Amino acid sequence: MSDVSQSVLIVGGGIAGLSTALTLHQLGIPCRVFESAEEPRPLGVGINIQPNAVRELLALGITEAELDAIGIQSREWALVGLNGNDIYAEPRGLLAGYKWPQYAAHRGELQMLLYRKVLERLGPDAVLTGHQGTGFTQNDDATITAHFNTRPSGESASYTGKLLIGADGIHSAIRAQMHPDQPPIHWGGTIMWRGVTRAKAARTGSTFLGLGTEDRRLVIYPISQPDENGLSLINWIAEIRNVSEEDWQKTGWFSEVAITDFLHYFTDMKYDWLDVPGLISQGTVAYENPMIDRDPISTWASGSALVLGDAAHPMYPTGSNGASQAIVDARNIGACLLQHGLTPAALTAFDEAFNGPVNDVVLRNRGDGPFGLLGLVEERCGGVFDDINTVLPEEERTAFMKRYQTAAGFARDALNSTPPIIPADQYS
């Protein structure tokens, strides 16, 4: 057993864990991150960073220029019916009146940016790679010991600290020990194929676009600035719902597949302003994965241990809120530690304040989140219309979207009137 003389042990070096490390360092709280990968790499595809999370990244000292280098500021969010006509469109970020922009970015590039910041600020030994968390032991002296399998040797290792933060994702070993009887990962019958294509961005040049129906839909948006030829890296997600285990001949979770395996579902989605099958077919690679989450759990805290990010509340990507919530989690646990000190009471306070509201967002996303508008339109007209107002009045569409934004914590007026989670005068 090793005592690294660290107050807080953070299991997991993804967006949640690294944001937590930067937050604790900002507050003068020593910590160390334990990451399972031997060498962190920019894996993944596109994500959205909502204004509430951008506010917190800026408060962490990450600049707009740095975010511009790994993504692009979002200008519009739009839903389109089967015949290419708008269901709903609204400006996003600064254009919507937020004080902070919204970003679309490559998930791996955001993670690597945070990783570099941790090493710069906390030192080159702040992240211990090749350490897969396996569980923890609550000690009689009010400390906690985290246990790991090390890679590539497979040997065990243990480290003791004052508190343990489990940020080890949807397959969290920390959560599993807290809740040994938790149900298995939840799959609702949706298969996604994800990829990127270098192409000219549609509409505003930075539009998050959803189109199709509830059971067959596309999400398309750029995640990079346009190059000298006006081409951006376009993230696309193709989805089919109501697939049974018997119908899905899966070769594995999150596996690489040929684009021709699924392109036929979307060949009719050609419009004068967007060629969906053409865009997908030009992708360099596609990854097949199920849309999964976990049933909410009653508590995220156990003594001196806490889970946050995807370890606490993995959610369907329908609300584009997973990464943003991870960043906000990191800031909120920092605020709780400021108030209650390095004690289990801080973890309990975090759990009591946020478990219920965030679990509600998880369940809302199962119900399609903001994409529920596609289902309403399909119900009323089959997804084909000339004038959306005859199908779904503007007031109804706007109210639907506002309800989700409020639940997810990025309703504009409320966010604009609220200061950052941790006041700047609390920084060490």
Element (H, E) at 49: strand 46-49
pLDDT at 1: 47
pLDDT over threshold 60, residue 36: yes
pLDDT band at 405 (very low <50, low <70, confident <90, very high): confident
pLDDT digits (tens, 9 = 90+) for 300-346: 999 999 999 999 999 887 767 889 999 999 999 999 999 999 999 99
pLDDT digits (tens, 9 = 90+) for 239-263: 998 887 766 655 556 788 999 999 9
pLDDT at 247: 66
User: Rounded to 5, what percent of the chain is helix, strand, coil?
Assistant: 35, 30, 35
pLDDT at 43: 79
pLDDT at 404: 74
User: Where along the chain do its domains lie?
Assistant: 2-51+103-184+298-367
Q: What is the mean pLDDT of the chain?
A: 91
Sheet holding 71-73, edge to edge: 46-49, 103-106, 71-73
In whole angstroms, give the CA distance from residue 133 to residue 149: 7
For residues 405-416, give the mean pLDDT: 80
pLDDT digits (tens, 9 = 90+) for 131-185: 999 999 999 999 999 999 999 888 999 999 999 999 999 999 999 999 999 998 8
For residues 89-107, give the mean pLDDT: 94
Please state which architecture CATH assigns to domain 2-51+103-184+298-367.
3-Layer(bba) Sandwich (3.50)
Start-end of H helices in 149-224: 173-178
pLDDT over threshold 70, residue 65: yes
**CA-atom Rg of the chain in angstroms:** 22
Nearest CA-CA partner of 237 in 174, 268, 191, 270: 191
Which is higher by pLDDT, 255 or 299? 299
For residue 297, give the 3-state DSSP assignment.
coil
Among 92-96, 277-281, 353-357, 360-364, whose mean pLDDT is lowest? 360-364
In whole angstroms, give the CA distance from residue 22 to residue 56: 11
**The two structure tokens encoding residue 339:** 């108030």
Whether the Cβ atoms of residue 130 and residue 36 lie closer than 8 Å to each other: yes
pLDDT at 167: 98
pLDDT at 253: 62
pLDDT digits (tens, 9 = 90+) for 342-370: 999 999 999 999 999 999 888 887 876 77
Distances (CA, A) of 151 to 128, 130, 145, 194: 11, 5, 19, 29
What global pTM score does this model have? 0.92
